[in-house]
Amino acid sequence: MKMQLAEIARALGVEANDAWQDIFVTNICFDSRQVKPGALFVPLMGTNDGHNYVQSAIDGGAVATLWQADHVNQQIADFPSLVVENCLEALQALSKYYLVKINPKVVAVTGSNGKTTTKDMTAAVLGQVFNVHKTQDNFNNEIGVPMTILSMEPNTEILVVELGMDRYEQLDFLSKLVEPDVAIITMIGEAHIEFFGSRDNIAEAKFEITHGLKEDGALVINGNEPLLTKRASEIQQETVTFGSGDNVELQAMNIVSDDKQTSFRVKKWPEVNFTIPMIGSYNVYNALAALAVGDIYHIPVDQMKNALADFSLTKNRTEWLHAPNGARILSDVYNSNPTAVKEVVTAFAEVPTTGRRMIVLGDMLELGEQAQEMHEQLADSIDETKISDVYLVGPLMAALGEKLQSKFESTKLHLYQPDELGRLTDDLKASLTSEDVVMLKASHGIHLEEVLRNLV
């Protein structure tokens, strides 16, 4: 981006200083440690007061700052400051202004599982024809979405934005902020069920993504999920469905998966063999959502095929890595929920290997009163004839450990507390051979990424 500070002031209803005509903002930053020259610094009020870091931002090259009105007596003299009532709301308002100014088409993605992968796939498909900007990392909340918008280049034609949710009305706000032309709901799982109580309530909250959907927009959903199809029948916008069975518009067929990729066909284009560089049939449904969006925007099917075969996946989402001794490691350590664990364990159990298949599972968080039961239920998905060793981390996974005692010898079942990641790492290093494959998955709060960092 590149905007005059005077234009930003006008967008926020702040009286502009004449000198601000000559000050250009080239990026927005709320973390003083990451300030780049030309930044407008946004001092957010959270655990720490962002105003305490304005001088650090100036030292890093910031050319201006927002300043919350209730902190005005702390202003730094002779430095361009835009006084606003609330810095977060000002950031959101500025992003809305910039979105309208650039005026891209907007594709918004949410779901209990697969939204980041679907976002990456969709961006790759659309990027075959259009200039596309997409959400980076996990910038999918009230702060991250505005930052995603404000990092768009002026030539952006389509914005693919991920929208996260952990409470009611969050998606309502984010959807109305971005006003999507296309909204995708990947699936309804158990993520955040602690706060919502049931999958039906989760579906209701996810469906808030349609609250800002343009009147002539389209909704893309899994057509095998009654909680979504029922609600979709009640909105006026077009609905495009994907999944399995004849009742969906984009139906997956002939799914074949190995340790590196999954191939499939789609009934709408039966002559085309699609391939994605990921294991598991569950990722095919994420690809179908991306194909649905590509079809809406008339991307030629051969170009969609090429995009899916070689798309760039956000870090820590089901990626293959290697240990120094050659052992293969399947990393999926960013988040976790029962549906996702069952799917990835089932896929991993089919990965070809001449060695052992070993799984490392950490607690799935935010499952509320049903947490222990949901952890115990994972036992049915773990095939002791295909998985040789199980490493479990956390008090909730201990409940799964008890269920697995009848399936695994004690030497094959290993239990750890979250503060024992060092011991877990040492045990894995001592056990892994060059022929083995190991999978790691847990909620981000367990921090299995620390184990991963010391294995590769």
Binding residues: 111-117
Cα 336 vs. chain centroid, distance in angstroms? Answer: 12
First-to-last CA distance in the chain? 37
The answer to whether 317 touches 334, Cβ cutoff 8 Å, is: yes
Q: In terms of DSSP bridges, do strands 357-362 and 328-332 run parallel, antiparallel, or are they unpaired?
A: unpaired
Altogether, the residues listed in the chain come to a count of 456
Residue 176 CB-density burial (10 A; 0-12 exposed, 13-18 middle, 19+ buried): middle
Q: Annotated binding residues for ATP, as ranges? A: 111-117
Q: What is the 3-state secondary structure (H, E, C) of the chain?
A: CCEEHHHHHHHCCCCCCHHHHHCEECEEECCHHHCCCCEEECCCECCCEHHHHHHHHHHCCCCEEEEEHHHHHHCCCCCCEEEECCHHHHHHHHHHHHHHHHCCEEEEEECCCCHHHHHHHHHHHHCCCCCEEECCCCCCCCCHHHHHHHCCCCCCCEEEEECCCCCCCHHHHHHHHHCCCEEEECCCCCCCHHHHCCHHHHHHHHHHHHHHCCCCCEEEEECCCHHHHHHHCCCCCEEEEEECCCCCCEEEEEEEECCCCEEEEECCEEEEEEEECCCCCHHHHHHHHHHHHHHHCCCCHHHHHHHHHCCCCCCCCCEEEECCCCCEEEEECCCCCHHHHHHHHHHHCCCCCCCCEEEEEECCCCCHHHHHHHHHHHHHHCCCCCCCEEEEECHHHHHHHHHHCCCCCHHHEEEECHHHHHHHHHHHHHHCCCCCEEEEECCHHHCHHHHHHHHC
- Reported as type and span, the H/E element at residue 402 is helix 395-404
The answer to whether 308 touches 286, Cβ cutoff 8 Å, is: no
